[in-house]
Amino acid sequence: MTATELSGRTVTVFGAGGFIGTNVCAALSLAGAKVHCFGRRSRLAIPYEPQSWFEAEFTDIDAVKAAVAGADFVIHLLGGSSPAVYNNAPAQEVMANIIPSLGLLDACRNAGVGRVIFLSSGGTVYGPDVMTPTNETAPTNPISAYGIGKLAVEKYLGLFHHLFGLDYRVLRVANPFGPYQLPNRGQGFIAQAIQCALDHEPIEIWGDGSIVRDYIYVADVANAVVRSLLHRGDERVFNIGSNVGLSLLDVISSIEHVVDKSFDITFLGSRPVDVQCSILDTSRAKTSLGWKPQTDFLYALENTKNWLISYRGS
């Protein structure tokens, strides 16, 4: 895939105003694509020029249809907030995510969209009982309604492909971090931890700090999205992660190094929604997509810290 191949192509990004969305739209713009945005508009200054912005709810099917009209590609980044939110109300997750995702797929099919890219969740779709590093053929037994919702949308993509020829790729992304991830949203441990460090506040963590996650820099994720748009090959589901597992305490130690300060830690009880260890095996993405994680972890933390400082100062 070269930038030329995306040049002038129209891409509609659902969830464009969020953390990953902002990074994906910036990468698409850099590759020459015409980027149309759907969803809540970012309150932050954004590093690209959108062609249009559909500020609507995902459940607004007319707005969804309008946003995909004429799109060569659609990128679906919507899917609720964090895994912990919906477990006491899984039906709400279905109504907020699965139902409107089906509306989106239907709209894409009717509009003749060339490919849909769906960002799924490598940290939740597999569940607790898998080998790590986990590859894409592992069993999928999520322990959150969030993960079940992601998995259901993956399956519906397979159905729409089978029945109607709608092309798609699924990226099961590990724990992304980097610029435009805001602290205080319960979304990203790293953004939250850096903020605590900058503010000399204790960091709260769930469990004893031994939970292991696979942290992937968001620019690497955006790169995977761009590659998946023009991917040629039979594989359709790809893990996107760093291949490296870090405990919360490992991450805290790295952040202490980057900010040159030490932390106080407040240990909270563990949450039933958290698997103990999640590390993705990304060899399929390497072989088939030509993608691999490229950004050094400490360098990425440094970038994240610098962005957070500039964001807080703005």
Q: Which residues bind a copy of itself (CB under 8 A)?
A: 87, 90-91, 94-95, 98-99, 102-103, 127, 137, 139-145, 148, 151-152, 155-156, 158-159, 162-163, 272-273
Q: Shortest gap between Cβ of 97 and a copy of itself (angstroms)?
A: 11
Ordered DSSP codes for 55-99: ---TT-HHHHHHHHTT-SEEEE----S-TTGGGG-HHHHIIIIIH
Give which of 290, 71, 93, 289 is closest to 166, Cα–Cα. Answer: 71
Q: Shortest gap between Cβ of 135 and a copy of itself (angstroms)?
A: 12
98 or 249, CB closer to a copy of itself?
98
Radius of gyration for the alpha carbons in the chain, expressed in angstroms and rounded: 19
113 or 255, CB closer to a copy of itself?
113
Q: Shortest gap between Cβ of 157 and a copy of itself (angstroms)?
A: 10
For residue 176, is the peptide bond before it cis, meaning its omega torsion is within 30 degrees of 0? no
Q: Shortest gap between Cβ of 149 and a copy of itself (angstroms)?
A: 9
214 or 274, CB closer to a copy of itself?
274
45 or 163, CB closer to a copy of itself?
163
Give which of 27, 48, 150 is closest to 93, Cα–Cα. Answer: 150
Q: Alpha-carbon distance 145 to 191, whole Å?
A: 24
User: Would you call 278 exposed, middle or buried from its count of C-beta atoms within 10 A (0-12, 13-18, 19+)?
Assistant: buried
Q: Shortest gap between Cβ of 81 and a copy of itself (angstroms)?
A: 17
156 or 217, CB closer to a copy of itself?
156
Contact between residue 33 and residue 18 where contact means Cβ atoms under 8 Å apart: no
